[in-house]
Structure 1
Amino acid sequence: MDLSSFTTDYSFALLVALSSLAFVAGFIDAVVGGGGLIQIPALLIAFPDKAVATLFGTNKIAAISGTSVAAYNYSKRIRFDYRLLIVVSLAAFTASFLGAKVVSMVRAEVLRPVILIILVIMLIYVYTNKNLGAAQNKGLPLAKQLVLGSLIGLVVGFYDGFFGPGTGSFLILGFVVLLRFDFVTASGYAKLINCVTNISALLVFIRNGNFLLGIGITMAVFNIAGNIIGSRMALREGNGFVRKIFLVVVSLMILRYGYDVFQQFLPNSM
Structure 2
Amino acid sequence: MDIHMTAEIAALLFITGLSAGFVDAIAGGGGLIALPVLLSIGLPPQIALGTNKLQGTFGTLASSYQFFRKGQVDFREAMPGILYTFVGAAAGTTLVQNISPSFLGYMVPVLLVGVFVYTLFSKSLGYERRPPKMASRVFYTVFGLALGFYDGFFGPGAGSFWMAAFCVFLGFDLTRSAGFTRAMNFTSNLVSLAVFILGGNVLYSVGLLMAAGQFIGGRLGANLAMKKGAGFIRLVFLTVVAATVARLVYVTYLA
Mean Cα deviation higher: 147-156 or 127-136: 147-156
Q: 1:81 deviation in Å?
A: 4.2
Q: Larger C-alpha radius of gyration, 1 or 2? A: 1
User: Is contact 2:18–2:217 with CA below 8 Å preserved after alignment?
Assistant: yes
Q: 1:79 deviation in Å?
A: 4.9
Which residues in structure 2 correspond to 1:237-248 (within 5 Å)? 237-248=228-239
Determine whether 1:145 maps to 2:136.
Answer: yes
List alignment gaps of at least 5 residues for structure 1: 265-270
**Matched residue SS, 1:181:** coil
Aligned to 2:148: 157
Distance 2:231 2:47 in 1: 37
Aligned to 2:163: 172
TM-score normalised according to structure 2 size: 0.95
Letter in 2 for 1:181: F
**Matched residue SS, 1:109:** coil
Distance 2:156 2:211 in 1: 16
Aligned to 1:268: none
Mean Cα deviation higher: 190-199 or 230-239: 190-199
Which residues in structure 2 correspond to 1:74-85 (within 5 Å)? 74-85=67-78
Aligned to 2:114: 121
**Matched residue SS, 1:210:** coil
Residues 18-59 of structure 1, C-alpha deviations (whole Å, 9 max, x = no match): 211111111100101110000001000111xx3311111111
Gap change, CA 1:79 and 1:115, over 3 Å in 2: closer
- Structure 1 runs (4+) greater than 4 angstroms displaced: none
Letter in 2 for 1:45: S
Aligned to 1:39: 34
Determine whether 1:260 maps to 2:255.
Answer: no
Residues 71-127 of structure 1, C-alpha deviations (whole Å, 9 max, x = no match): 010001125444431110111110001000110333322111110100111110000
User: Is contact 2:88–2:144 with CA below 8 Å preserved after alignment?
Assistant: yes
List alignment gaps of at least 5 residues for structure 2: none
Letter in 2 for 1:196: T
Gap change, CA 1:104 and 1:206, over 3 Å in 2: closer
User: Is contact 1:69–1:227 with CA below 8 Å preserved after alignment?
Assistant: yes
Letter in 2 for 1:146: R
Q: 2:19 aligns with which of 24, 46, 63?
A: 24
Aligned to 1:223: 214
Q: 2:200 aligns with which of 179, 189, 209?
A: 209
Distance 2:121 2:225 in 1: 22
TM-score normalised according to structure 1 size: 0.90
Determine whether 1:94 maps to 2:108.
Answer: no
Q: How many residues align structurally?
A: 255
Q: 1:199 deviation in Å?
A: 1.1
Q: 1:261 deviation in Å?
A: 1.8
Percent of residue pairs identical = 33
Distance 2:165 2:136 in 1: 11
Which residues in structure 2 correspond to 1:95-114 (within 5 Å)? 95-114=88-107
Distance 2:65 2:97 in 1: 33
**Matched residue SS, 2:135:** helix
